[in-house]
């Protein structure tokens, strides 16, 4: 009797852990969709830093050039 109760409790704990994991994963996905990615936050902070520290502007311009070339490459059009 005690062994069966122990097994049921163990199964319940494992089930509860699985349910909590699924809830956590869904919450993370929802949060990413709602708030964007850390890349967007990084770009915004780099913009702010370039305003406060003019020496960082070259980093921002290089990032923009790289982003623009990536956008052009992903459009499917040949370069040139």
Q: How many domains does the chain have?
A: 2
Together in a domain, 45 and 24: no
Alpha carbon distance 14, 20 (integer Å): 10
The answer to whether residue 79 is domain-embedded is: no
Crossing angle between the packed helical segments 38-52 and 57-74, to the nearest 10 degrees: 140
Together in a domain, 27 and 44: no
Output the pTM of the full model: 0.40
DSSP annotation string for 8-62? HHHHHHHHHHHHHHHHHHHHHHHHHHHH--HHHHHHHHHHHHHHH-GGGHHHHHH
The answer to whether residue 3 is domain-embedded is: yes
The answer to whether residue 31 is domain-embedded is: yes
Q: What is the pLDDT along the chain (80 residues), one digit of tens a residue?
A: 789 999 999 999 999 999 999 999 898 888 777 766 666 677 777 777 777 776 766 666 777 777 767 655 555 555 54
Range of the domain at 16: 1-36
DSSP letter assigned to residue 75: T
């Amino acid at each position: 009797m005690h062994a069966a109760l122990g097994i049921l409790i163990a199964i319940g704990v494992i089930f509860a852990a699985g349910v909590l994991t699924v809830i956590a994963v869904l919450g993370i996905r929802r949060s990413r969709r709602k708030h964007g990615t850390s890349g967007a936050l990084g770009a915004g902070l780099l913009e702010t830093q370039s305003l406060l520290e003019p020496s960082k502007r070259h980093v921002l311009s290089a990032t923009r050039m790289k982003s623009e070339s990536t956008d052009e490459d992903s459009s499917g059009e040949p370069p040139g």
